[in-house]
Chains A and B, each alone.
Chain A
Amino acid sequence: MALLEKEFLARLEQLELISRRIRRGAFRGERRSVRKGSSVEFADHRPYGAGDDLRFLDWNLYARLDRLMTKLFHDEEDLAVHLVLDRSASMDFGSPSKLLTAKRLLASIGYISLVGMNRVSFWSPGAEREVEVTNLRSARSAPRLFDAIERAAVGGAAGLDEPLRRWVGTRRPRGVLVLASDLLHEDGAWEHLRAVVRGGLEVHALRVLTPEEHEPDLEGDLRLMDAELGTGVDVTVTPKLLQRYRDARDDYDRRLEQFCRSRAITLLPTTTDTPFETLVLDVLRVKGLLR
């Protein structure tokens, strides 16, 4: 099955990725840049200097102040959108799996970005090799993006922090970073996110969980095997233990939210049982990632 159906792609074309800040792009695009350029949107004045284009002299201001001022306009450039997929073993749970849901979310956001003439990159760290495509522009590049996303199979690194740190150090990305992950890690997922916020990126974290991770459906004496680490924890599931689990989960979620809020990271939690179209067309819009 293709990641996204044609009909759904057509509906995605009506949407646009929102960036909270105006950023400097690399190429001309349709998004306002911090650079001054040749768009029709007025930005500022500056004193006239020798060589300035006389067409931008503000004659009205000269008549009032008797000073030669040149009008500056905003430039329109593209936006760098970095899509990062966590494909560790813990993502291979749920029905549909967390990984599939994450892939479809990134594909949707990537497609919206490409349609908006933004520069899209996809990167997914792996235990053996990374999957990466960079500098995709325009909707015509969507198949390459989708292909790369589809190639990212389960088997990624257990911890995202080190690969992310390395990736940020070498790529020095700017723009928007959309990370799709379950953000479950013994040391706290915020340790992973710390690496990307330092890079000055606008980070959106799509947190995909299964309903069972919210409300476990377990009973009896079990050895719970960690899918990534292979370690086991012997439990006898009782109502009290379940309550303790909920308490531990709530505490983890609260700390994650607190971190994201303090670092201006948009945290978008969802579960795999949420209808996908609702998720993209409604939830992400309400959360301010799309419009």
Chain B
Amino acid sequence: MTFLFPLGAAAAGALVPLIVLYLLKQKRAEYRVPTNFLWARALEDLRASSLFQRLRTQLLLLLQALAVILFALAAAGASLELDLGERPRRVILVVDRSRSMKAADEDGSTRFKVAQELARDAVSSLRGGDEIMLIAFDSTAEVVQSFTSDTDRLDAAIDGLSPRDLPSHAADAMLLVQPAGQASSAFDVEVVLLTDGALSDALPDVAYPVQYQRIGKSDANQGIGAAYVTRQPAEPAQLFVRVDNGGAEPATRRVVLSRGADVLDARDVQLDGGADRTVFFELPDPPGGDPVIFHVSLDGSDVLGADDHVDLVLRPQVARNGLLVANEPSIYLDVEKLTGLHPGLALTAVSMADAQAAFTTGTVPIDLVIFDGVAPSEVPPVPAQLYVNCIPPGSNIRETGRQEYPIIIDWDRMHPTTVRCLFDDVQVIDAMRLAGTERSRTLVDSTGGPLVLLTPVPGREVVMVAFSPAQSNLPLKLAWPLFLANTMDFLLAGVERAGEEAVVATGTPLVVADEGPFTVSAPDGRDVLVEPDAKGRAQFGDTWNAGVYEVTTATRTKAPYAVALLDPVEIRLAPRAELTLGEHPVQAATTSIARHMLLRDPLLLLALALLVLEWAVWCGRR
């Protein structure tokens, strides 16, 4: 048996006053009797009758003294050592501080507090020569405290940690572990991973024993897994909210949309175990041109409240800029007609050289570009792109030849770009024969392969038409303007310029360019002055917690930015019994983190039991 806090044994000093008090004896209730000599004789007889009876009078004192001794042992940190090697240890504590650690399912305490307690236990079990390193991770990993045996510094580092509204990427933390272990050849290295196992990424293997201390008990959690706003010209903005049920049991929650103290709308959603549902709201346009903050929340409670609400900022709709890039004008892609199909769009016909210049300077934000028969060499920095009779750069698609009179055999009637369009009587004279379309979604299919596709390029998805409308009767059909209008709506629906986002992910820096220093009022009440760097860019990166951050610049009044973590992985809170590091499974540990069996709890329980016994004996004698 070892004593982690030998000074705690001083509590045994309580024996002295206990015995003194016992000797002085507590005041008994006085009872007047005619004479007490018969009682005195009875008492003498009783005392003399047996040794046990003599001891019996002091049984209460013995019990109390035993209880005090047990308390003293507990205070002295009496513990049993478990399987400790001869060499000093270096323990790398890897603490998860992602949002799921805010879940309060540990008997009223949060998972993160339990993780802190476990970390403190590890610190308290340090032997001479042992050292601990503290790494905290969420979306990134950080060495909070390098190897040290200074328990005060370690405790301070542990106390300084707090959970943040960020996803958990433990792989980064494990990458920090490897070099730290390699620099510890004179030690036995052990990695202690303090997490609930709700991790977003796969963990790499490490060359050291890993102890996975699983934290968390419940999976009864629902949260907002996604929220996004789409806007169409001259129409109210549309808000889609996805509610995820992270638990195995069905649940019913009410999604409430509010603005300030006013509740605007509410929807009930019934969720099966592990399922998700998306609900839709219409958001009224902000009156007066000022941004409006909307609040979406889930009524009721679960173990994690942080994912039950999200703020959104809706800003006044602004006109979109577009470029029509073609070598020569065409009648089927007329600027005026295209503008009529998407009110609010300022479309300009330019040559490829002018377009490239506009992309490079970036002075005017461009939201949409339509390439007609000519494609750039690189993917332009434009969110919405339509390629007509040309192949998007950066995609896997390549042209293998031409095909004549491909017959349209089917089209996607549900996709927003082709909905309500009829292609059955469209005839195409000549079209590209394409290869590498496996990752693309075919919107219009023909006997010679896809004719219209939704294809991924780095950073986005673009729409491609694999033939020239001039080589078909499509421009004569109603399907053509419908397709163009649908496509522009679809491509521009999710477009938000920097600073226009309704909600940005936690951890995303707030950047205000060319406006000098600005002040950020964070949701936790802090006001932070942000100075621009040498390049004149000022950014605020401390957006680790969800909420509304208000930016005040010298030239602008307050501009709100909503920050939220919309991550279904952080909603699914079921603690995992096993983690996989590389290809090696690691079971949740069943032993104490301290490698000591701390006897505090059993000793305290035993002491309590003795006190109860003492009370029972005392009552029995009354």
Q: Give residues in A with beta carbon < 8 Å to B.
A: 89-91, 93, 98, 182, 184-186, 210, 213, 218-229, 231-238, 240-241, 244-245, 247-249, 252
Contacts and interface: CB of A to CB of B under 8 A. Distances in A.
B57 A231 contact: no
A240 B41 CA distance: 13
Given A90-B35, A184-B35, A244-B42, A234 B25 contact: yes
Contacts of B39: 224, 233, 235, 245
A244 B46 contact: yes
Contacts of B622: 219-221, 237
Given A220-B622, A244-B46, A186 B33 contact: no
Contact of B31 (A98, A224, A231): A224
Given A220-B621, A234-B28, A238-B621, A225 B36 contact: yes
Interface string B25-61: 1001111111111111111011001000100010000
Interface residues of B, number: 24
B35 A232 contact: no
Contact of A233 (B40, B49, B57, B621): B40
A213 B46 CA distance: 19
A interface SS class: mixed
Contacts of B46: 240-241, 244
B32 to A, nearest CB: 5
B38 A227 contact: no
A249 B25 contact: no
B34 A232 contact: no
A229 B33 CA distance: 11
B35 to A, nearest CB: 5
B34 A213 contact: yes
A241 B621 CA distance: 10
A248 B42 contact: yes
Nearest to B37: A186
Contacts of A244: 41-43, 45-46, 49
A113 B118 CA distance: 95
Interface of B: 25, 28-43, 45-46, 49, 53, 57, 621-622
Contacts of A90: 34-35
B621 A248 contact: no
Given A235-B39, A249-B38, A225 B45 contact: no
B36 A222 contact: no
B30 A93 contact: no
Given A220-B622, A221-B621, A252-B38, A241 B43 contact: yes
A89 B42 CA distance: 22
A247 B44 CA distance: 12
Contacts of B33: 93, 224-227
Contact of B43 (A91, A185, A213, A235): A235
9 contacts: A90-B34, A184-B38, A185-B35, A186-B37, A223-B30, A225-B33, A228-B35, A233-B40, A241-B43
Given A223-B31, A226-B35, A244-B41, 20 more contacts: A89-B34, A98-B34, A213-B34, A222-B28, A224-B32, A224-B39, A226-B33, A226-B37, A227-B34, A228-B35, A229-B35, A231-B36, A232-B30, A233-B40, A235-B43, A237-B622, A241-B42, A241-B43, A241-B46, A245-B42
Contacts of B36: 224-226, 231-233
B514 to A, nearest CB: 87
A235 B43 CA distance: 7
Q: Which 3 A-B pairs have the closest CB atoms?
A: A220-B622, A244-B42, A90-B34
Given A234-B25, A240-B46, A244-B45, A225 B32 contact: yes
Contacts of B42: 241, 244-245, 247-248
B28 A223 contact: yes
Given A233-B39, A238-B621, A244-B42, A221 B28 contact: yes
Contacts of B621: 220-221, 236-238
A64 to B, nearest CB: 67
B45 A247 contact: yes
A115 B30 CA distance: 47
A52 B49 CA distance: 75
Contacts of B32: 224-225, 227
A98 B34 CA distance: 10
Contacts of A91: 34
Contacts of A248: 38, 41-42, 45
Contacts of A213: 34
A184 B42 CA distance: 15
Nearest to A234: B28
Contacts of B25: 234
Nearest to A209: B34
A225 B30 contact: yes
A243 B227 CA distance: 83
Residue from B33, B41, B43 whose CB has the most chain A CB atoms within 10 Å: B33
A112 B41 CA distance: 40
Contact of B57 (A98, A224, A227, A236): A236
A192 B404 CA distance: 146
Given A233-B36, A245-B38, A223 B45 contact: no
Contacts of B57: 236
A119 B37 CA distance: 38
Given A227-B34, A233-B39, A235-B39, A220 B45 contact: no
B60 to A, nearest CB: 9
A223 B38 contact: no
A215 B621 CA distance: 18
B59 to A, nearest CB: 11
A184 B34 contact: yes
Interface centre among A186, A221, A228 (most CB of B within 10 A): A221
B285 to A, nearest CB: 82
Contact of A223 (B29, B34, B41, B43): B29
A249 B49 CA distance: 17
A90 to B, nearest CB: 4
A13 to B, nearest CB: 34
A280 B35 CA distance: 27
A250 B6 CA distance: 58
Contacts of A210: 34
A149 B29 CA distance: 35
A238 B39 CA distance: 12
Nearest to A220: B622
Given A233-B40, A244-B45, A247-B45, A186 B35 contact: yes
A228 B37 CA distance: 11
Contacts of B40: 233
Contact of A222 (B29, B38, B53): B29
Given A220-B622, A233-B40, A235-B39, A93 B34 contact: yes
A241 B45 CA distance: 9
Nearest to A226: B36
Contact of B29 (A186, A220, A240): A220
Contacts of A252: 38
A239 B41 CA distance: 15
A247 B41 CA distance: 10
Contacts of A227: 32-35
Nearest to A91: B34
B55 to A, nearest CB: 14
A78 B37 CA distance: 42
Given A236-B621, A248-B41, A221 B29 contact: yes
B34 A225 contact: no
Contacts of A186: 35, 37
A251 B80 CA distance: 59
B477 to A, nearest CB: 105
A224 B37 CA distance: 10
